[in-house]
């Protein structure tokens, strides 16, 4: 359906990401990295022995901005999942880990 044919109940034109009441819908498109927008991609790092979940994609960064923190806590991740988002832990290869440690492979 094209934008110019889509109208709300009042007859006003609306975009494809709105429902008939004018509320914005969550898009399930893919971002620039090919990750679905309903996926929160995190990277787990250990800081002083404690695991910390850092956001990798835009969805994760938005949730971090909402919480006011740079990392997502376990309770944050549980709430994100309860909202219907999929939380995925980024997997890093051995070469990447060695490069971070400054060891040549």
Lowest mean pLDDT among 46-50, 83-87, 90-94: 90-94
Of the chain, the percentage scoring pLDDT greater than 90 comes to 37
Lowest mean pLDDT among 21-25, 51-55, 91-95: 21-25
Average per-residue pLDDT for the chain: 76
Mark residue 34 as left, alpha or beta (left: phi above 0; alpha: psi -120 to 50; beta: remaining). Answer: left
Q: Angle, nearest 10°, between helix axes 74-82 and 58-67?
A: 120
Q: Which pLDDT does position 78 carry in this prediction? A: 94
Q: Which pLDDT does position 95 carry in this prediction? A: 74
* Cβ neighbours of 52 (radius 10 Å): 16
Q: Which pLDDT does position 49 carry in this prediction? A: 85
Q: How confident is the model at residue 3 (pLDDT cuts 50, 70, 90)?
A: very low
Average pLDDT over residues 4-18: 58
Query: For the range 97-102, what are the long-range contacts, defined as Cβ-Cβ under 8 Å and sequence gap of 24 or more?
Result: none
């Amino acid at each position: 359906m094209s934008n110019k044919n889509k109208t709300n109940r009042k007859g006003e034109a609306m975009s494809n990401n709105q429902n008939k009441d004018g509320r914005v819908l969550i898009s399930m498109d893919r971002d620039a990295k090919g990750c679905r927008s309903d996926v929160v991609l995190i990277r787990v790092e250990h800081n002083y022995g404690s695991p910390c979940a850092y956001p990798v994609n835009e969805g994760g960064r938005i949730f971090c901005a909402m919480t006011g923190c740079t990392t997502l806590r376990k309770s944050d991740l549980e709430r994100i999942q309860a909202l219907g988002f999929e939380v995925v832990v980024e997997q890093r290869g051995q070469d990447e880990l060695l490069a971070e440690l400054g060891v040549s492979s």
